[in-house]
Amino acid sequence: MSIVITGGAGFIGSCLLKKLNIAGITDIVIVDELGSTEKWKNLLGKQYEDYVDKDFFLDALSKGTFDKTIDCIIHLGACSSTTETNAAYLMDNNFNYSKKLAEWTIRNKKRFLYASSAATYGAGEKGYSDRDTVAPTLMPLNMYGYSKHAFDLWVLKNNLQKIFVGFKFFNIFGPNEYHKEDMRSMIHKGYQHIKQKGTIRLFKSYRKEYGDGEQKRDFMYVQDAVDVVGYFFNNPQKTGIYNVGTGKAHSWNELACAIFKALDLNPSIEYFDMPHTLREKYQYFTEADITKLRQAGFSSSFLKLEDAVKEYVALLETTQYI
């Protein structure tokens, strides 16, 4: 089977590439946009057949270059910046690009697996169920979340959840994320701040029901996330849009303390003002409902947060990537 991984040099994509290589799969085309970033290092030591720039790839698809050589597209490439305000760019990159890839797979009867996001859930007013009937009611808080939500809605409107697989990734962290700048996880940013200043800085809370640092997210180790992707890749009869999270929310304070513990240090946490531009767009709580994922047959357990942080910090002590 020939596989395309868009975003294959990125964070989740490169970890998936390694997982596939370990399984003996190397007939892979990497589609990405390296630019002047350091994420080329995520391809070191990995095996694949070809690398294609993301813009050239779309053009080549439209010309029929890959019609007979691709069996499956795993579409993980996107602009993942939750603070990006260029709506036209996000819709072109995250919605239109995804739609063109999806339409190609339909015409050519190929498999399509793609990345959505927990940002589609907004403030969580409708909960965090990935049932198809809930999706149309969701209200994302930022343009990034909306661009992902728009594609989910297009999939559902056209009944494509019956042949596609979508992954609503929650807060994924782990090796190979170093190039993501402000979009790096707090584990990566916090680890660096501890090394430089001896402290971790967390946002203050602006809702009385949450103390400073007590805002909660569903944090998932990247190795667990790619295990979910791998499960659906290996079980083509399983389709639909699924949450990819642990099902257990933890506070930023808990996360910070786990980093300090992994470094054998006493916690030192500073709280600072959240930028005004984020205060109305900030998710105070996320927790994946993974009922549907379990019903689909994915039964593996996920690493506990403290254990996952410990493993990641140990990697950060020696390298930035795997």
Q: Which residue has the higher pLDDT, 277 or 198?
A: 198
Sequence-ordered alpha helix ranges (H) in the chain: 11-22, 54-62, 87-90, 97-108, 143-157, 186-197, 222-234, 252-262, 276-279, 291-295, 305-316
What is the dihedral sign for C-alpha 218, 21, 238, 303?
A: negative
pLDDT tens digit sequence for 99-149: 999 999 999 999 999 999 999 999 999 999 999 999 999 999 999 999 999
Q: What is the mean pLDDT of the chain?
A: 96
d(CA 52, CA 30): 6
Q: Are 74 and 6 in contact (CB under 8 A)?
A: yes
pLDDT at residue number 151: 98
Place of tokens 């910070």: 256
d(CA 44, CA 117): 27
- Catalytic residue list contains 292: no
Q: Are 247 and 286 in contact (CB under 8 A)?
A: no
Residue of 46, 110, 180, 310 marked catalytic: 180
Q: What is the 3-state secondary structure (H, E, C) of 247-287?
A: CCCEEHHHHHHHHHHHCCCCCCEEEECCCHHHHCCCCCECC
CATH for 3-172+219-245+288-302 is 3.40.50.720
- Catalytic residue list contains 180: yes
Interval 81-107 mean pLDDT: 95
> Percent of the chain at pLDDT above 70?
100
Angle at 98 between CA 95 and CA 104, to 5 degrees: 140
pLDDT at residue number 319: 87
pLDDT at residue number 187: 97
One-letter amino acid identity for 216? K
Interval 189-215 mean pLDDT: 97
Residue 307 reports pLDDT greater than 70 = yes
pLDDT at residue number 189: 97
Interval 158-184 mean pLDDT: 96
Residue of 144, 146, 178, 191 marked catalytic: 144
Place of tokens 């697996």: 113
Domain definitions of the chain by residue range: 3-172+219-245+288-302, 177-216+249-284+310-316
> Residue 1: which pLDDT band, with cuts at 50, 70 and 90?
low
What are the tokens at 73?
A: 């597209």
Write the CA distances from 109 to 68, 72, 105, 197, 290, integer angstroms.
11, 9, 6, 54, 29
pLDDT tens digit sequence for 5-32: 999 999 999 999 999 999 999 999 999 9
User: Torsion over CA of 283, 287, 293 and 299, rounded to 10 degrees?
Assistant: 140
> Percent of the chain at pLDDT above 90?
92
Architecture of the domain delimited by 177-216+249-284+310-316: Alpha-Beta Complex (3.90)
Nearest to 143 by CA among 90, 93, 95, 181: 90
What is the C-alpha end-to-end distance of the chain, expressed in Å? 24
Q: Is 282 left (phi over 0), alpha (psi -120 to 50) or beta?
A: beta
Burial class (CB in 10 A: 0-12, 13-18, 19+), 283: buried
User: 298-304 long-range contacts, Cβ below 8 Å, gap at least 24?
Assistant: 298/228, 298/231, 300/224, 300/227, 300/231, 302/220, 302/221, 302/224, 302/246, 302/247, 303/221, 303/223, 303/224
177-216+249-284+310-316 has the same fold as 3-172+219-245+288-302: no
